[in-house]
Amino acid sequence: MIEGQESFGKATRLTYGMIGGGLGAFIGDVHRKAIAMDGMARLTAGCFSQSFENTKKTGEAWGVDSSRLYMTPADMLTAEAKRPDKLDFVLIVAPNDIHYPIARQAVESGLHVVCDKPLTTSCRDAEELGRLVKAKGNLFCVTYTYTGYPIVKHMRDMVKNGEIGDIRFVTGEYAQEWLATLLELTGQKQAAWRTDPKRAGVSNCVGDIGSHIENMISYITGLEIESLLARLDHFGAGRVLDDNASILLNYKGGARGVYWSSQIAVGQDNGFRIRVYGTKAGLEWHQENPNYVRVSYIDKPTETISRGRDKLYPRAQSLSRIPAGHPEGYFEAFANIYSTFLTTLNKVKNKEPLTADDADYPGVEDGIRGVRFIEKCVESSEKGAVWVNF
């Protein structure tokens, strides 16, 4: 049985402002609670909704001073950038279509940024944002949540250290049922904007959950996509954007892969699964049971590695929070991404040297690659499910 992870309380408490995620939204509250878990940052300003009434109610509920509640994101960024006690970073949890203009203004204002995925709705905007971040020297995190699980980090180090041999084949599956009916016609806000190309961009299913598969496979294996073939389906009557996707992939170096993402898979809650097969061993991980990885070897019995019970590689071990048998899940994975980003931000503020582990959060380059993946899947499907170069 392990001890809990070290406290992060020695670092200076940072301040942040949130754009989007007001009362009634799901993901904003998840971010807020994940940040609060380690006490490293305090919510200080917000434009939580297009409705200023919602913003005011959210600010009151979350203890934000009314003088730092704003009508529009642009108002917030302009005002906060001029303050002597300006924010340390901005958190963007609004719908996809406004990620780019908000992030761009924040970076130009000298603010560090955390942005929900996908980074933008077009590769052109993503690449432009990447160039701006590099020129300004800002820290930029894109919240691909699932890389925050300790077992996922252990899997990455197993691959990196040659424990599974040369990778031959990978599979990623992310299945949900939440859009099996035309939920967007019932007034459900999440369904309404995610199925609207003006808000979500060129893809719904691949953009929302298929992009998580791409990010996880890249993180764990280091594989680089060479080409892909995608078929995007629209099973919901009248839907313009995809709700199911089947994708074949070729990687540089010869490995192959298959991804399936679906929002119409009846009976599936949040069925995210990753399998990696090498010349020595295979790895299997399920997000709904995230504290364990199944390792199958060619020349010895299969084993299950337990977060909490078994000794992990140092980076994974450092992010394991509670003893064996006490499940760590979604909030803790989010909190691990934030603890890494905020530790790095504190070091940058204090002009302290950075380590390799300080960069272990999804950055703007991960966001750019994710947007390219979405666009290439759409391109392949629209051309009749043909191979396209990545």
pLDDT of residue 8: 45
Q: What is the pLDDT of residue 344?
A: 97
Chain segment 91-115, per-residue pLDDT in tens? 999 999 999 999 999 999 999 999 9
Structure tokens at 185: 């016609």
CA 342 from centroid of its chain's CA atoms: 16
pLDDT band at 11 (very low <50, low <70, confident <90, very high): low
Q: Residue 118 has which token pair?
A: 């996908």
Residue 305 in this model has a pLDDT that exceeds 80: yes
- The pLDDT tens digits for 234-292 are 999 999 999 999 999 999 999 999 999 999 999 999 999 999 999 999 999 999 999 99
Specify the pLDDT at position 1. Answer: 41
Rounded average pLDDT over 300-325: 96
> Position 73: which residue type?
P
What pLDDT does 309 receive? 94
pLDDT digits (tens, 9 = 90+) for 178-231: 999 999 999 999 999 999 999 999 999 999 999 999 999 999 999 999 999 999
Residue 2 pLDDT greater than 60, yes or no: no
What is the predicted pLDDT for the residue at 268?
A: 98
Q: Could you tell me the domains of the chain?
A: 14-146+356-362 (3.40.50.720), 148-321+368-389 (3.30.360.10)
pLDDT of residue 24: 87
